[in-house]
Homo-oligomer: A and B are copies of this chain.
C-alpha cells in the first residue's frame, strides 16, 4: 500500500492569455489530494473516494465486462472516474504491467470543480502511488508528463500542462506554451474564496476566442496580460508582495474586460481587498468558482467568510513541495 499526495493550484497571473502563447504563473497551494494505491491480485480496480465533495462515493470495477457498481451521483462519478482510469492506464504503461489491478482510496481537501486543479492533483498523486506500488517509481517530471497525458485523454485534448506540472513539481511555475519551469518565489500568503459554483471552462475559453478574433483591442488585452505577467515575474523574484497584489488587481480587471468574471467573483474580490488584501483576482477559467487574494494577515479571509457570495474561505500558502509520499 502506497500513499502519495499532490497539491492543487491557483493562477497568480495569466490564465486565458496562456492559451494564446503568453506566459502565465500558476502556483501550487497547500491544499492536497491524498491517494492510496494497493496492488490487487487481479486486474480489477476499486475506487473509494471520500471528501471529494460533501458526499463521498465508491465505485467498484470488476475485471469482467459488466458495468461498475456505483454508489454516488452518476455525473460526479463519471467526471472523477475518468481521471482515475487514465491515471491507472499511465501507471500500468510506465511499469510495463498492463494487467495490474488496484485498490484506490482518494481523499482531498481541494474543493472539486472549483478551478483549483483537484483533478490534476488526484491524477498526479495516483500515478505516483500506483507506479511506486508496482516497484517503478518515476521522477516528478515524468509523473507530470504522464499526468498531463491522462488529463489530455479525459479532456479531449484541452488539457493544460501547467496544472499537472504544478501538482507534480510544486512551487511557483512559469508556463509559456508547452514549456513549464518552476521559478524562485517567496512565501506567498494566498487566501482563497470559493463561491460554491463553477463556470463552464469550454464556453469561457470560446468566449475569449470569439472576442479576440472579433476585436483587435481584445487581442491587445490578451497581450497586455502577457506583459503584466512579465512584470509579475520580476515582482516574484524581488519578493515584492505589494507589487504582486497590485498586479493581481490589474489582472482581474483585464480578465473582466475579456468577459470571464462574474458577480460573485467580483463580490469576493472586493471583499478580500476591503479586508486588507494586497490584491485579489479570479483564478482559473472564471465565470464562477474561486478568487485568490494575497494577505499576510487574517483580514481578507475574515472579510470573505462574511461575504454572502463566498461559500468557503481559506488560507492556502504556496506549496513548495509537489507530489510526495505520505504515511498511509
Contacts and interface: CB of A to CB of B under 8 A. Distances in A.
Interface of A: 211, 215-218, 220-221, 223-225, 227-228, 231, 249-259, 261, 263, 266-267, 270, 274
A256 B252 contact: yes
Contacts of A218: 250
Contact of A220 (B215, B220, B231, B261): B220
Contacts of A223: 217, 220
Given A253-B253, A253-B256, A224 B228 contact: no
A257 B282 CA distance: 13
Given A253-B259, A256-B253, A263-B270, A220 B224 contact: yes
A215 B211 CA distance: 24
Contact of A221 (B224, B249, B258, B261): B224
Contacts of A256: 252-253, 256-257
Scoring A221, A227, A231 by chain B CB atoms within 10 A of each residue's CB, the highest score goes to A221
A249 B253 contact: no
Contacts of A220: 220, 223-224, 227
A185 to B, nearest CB: 21
A259 B254 contact: no
Contacts of A250: 211, 215, 217-218, 257-259
A216 B227 contact: yes
Nearest to A211: B250
Contacts of A251: 257
Contacts of A225: 217
B254 A257 contact: yes
Contacts of A266: 266-267, 270
Nearest to A266: B266
Nearest to A226: B217
A215 B235 CA distance: 13
B263 A253 contact: no
A257 B225 CA distance: 10
12 contacts: A211-B250, A215-B228, A216-B227, A217-B223, A249-B259, A250-B258, A251-B257, A252-B256, A252-B257, A253-B257, A253-B259, A266-B266
Given A253-B254, A253-B258, A256-B257, 19 more contacts: A215-B231, A217-B223, A217-B227, A217-B228, A217-B250, A218-B250, A220-B220, A220-B223, A220-B224, A221-B224, A224-B257, A249-B259, A251-B257, A253-B253, A253-B257, A254-B254, A254-B257, A257-B257, A266-B266
Scoring A216, A221, A257 by chain B CB atoms within 10 A of each residue's CB, the highest score goes to A257
B253 A261 contact: yes
